[in-house]
Amino acid sequence: MRQSVRVAWASAKVKAENVIIESIMSTAYWRINPVAMIAAAVALISVFLPWWGIYQLLANTSFLLGRWALWNPPGAAALRRLGHPMPVSAASVSQTFAYSSLIVLLLALVVASLALAGGLTLRRKYLLVGLGLSILTPIAYAVSIAYMTSNYCLTPLCASGVIGSATLAGTTFSWGLETGFYIFIASIFVLVLSLVLNDSLARTTAMARAEISVPSTQPAK
């Protein structure tokens, strides 16, 4: 009788240990980097917000002439409303705007994808590549805006540079970077934090897997 009780107790103990090991294994193998996931979300949100805009200041009143997100660059009609005075057609300028915005949009989406992949797999290389591209993305956008404003006259006073203003006959035109650009910059800092956290998570996960593999490989007595 005592022998059967001992056998039943040992069997129950083994089952309980197996349940605990399976639970630990599931958490160890599915550990993620939440900061990298946040970075991916922030980068993705920035895509849908405006990155650059132009305003008209008349007396003490500000009028929005236009601001554009990466997925929605200014069309020919919007450029005509700005008073596009150059001999180059507004449609041609709009097409150049669209191409440059598309390139930056693809870079931003790749950054978000790499941050997501790194957060799910704890692979440092994904985060490093994502960080490099995230630094390149706003630089590429600023260069494209500088090129557009230097080569095409977008307002009657010809906006020049990424950020600036010009005044004529009491009317001031002001242009500069918008919310989406700065939010994407914030995602770069979040990516840096995710890299710091990733090393700690990767070590913890490796140790947990090692601890799990030891009892599972020991022969039963």
Q: What is the pLDDT of residue 24?
A: 41
- Is 205 part of any domain? no
Q: What is the pLDDT of residue 51?
A: 95
List the single range of 25-29, 38-42, 131-135, 190-194 with lowest mean pLDDT.
25-29
pLDDT tens for residues 174-212? Answer: 888 999 999 999 999 999 999 988 877 866 655 555 555
What domain range is 100 assigned to?
33-199
Say how many domains are in the chain.
1
Q: How confident is the model at residue 166 (pLDDT cuts 50, 70, 90)?
A: confident
Measuring CA to CA, which residue among 158, 129, 161, 166 is closest to residue 142? 161
- Is 9 part of any domain? no
Given a cut of 50, whether residue 26 has pLDDT beyond it is: no
- Is 219 part of any domain? no
> DSSP for 131-168?
HHHHHHHHHHHHHHHHHHHHHS--STT---SSSEEEEE
> Who wins on pLDDT, 98 or 80?
98
- Is 213 part of any domain? no
Q: What is the pLDDT of residue 52?
A: 93
Question: Please, is 42 exposed, middle or buried when counting C-beta atoms within 10 Å of its C-beta (0-12, 13-18, 19+)?
Answer: buried
List the single range of 58-62, 155-159, 207-211 with lowest mean pLDDT.
207-211
- Is 70 part of any domain? yes
Given a cut of 60, whether residue 3 has pLDDT beyond it is: no
Q: What is the pLDDT of residue 220?
A: 47
- Is 204 part of any domain? no
pLDDT winner (highest mean) among 87-96, 119-128, 133-142: 133-142
How many residues comprise the chain?
Answer: 221
- Is 215 part of any domain? no
- Is 163 part of any domain? yes
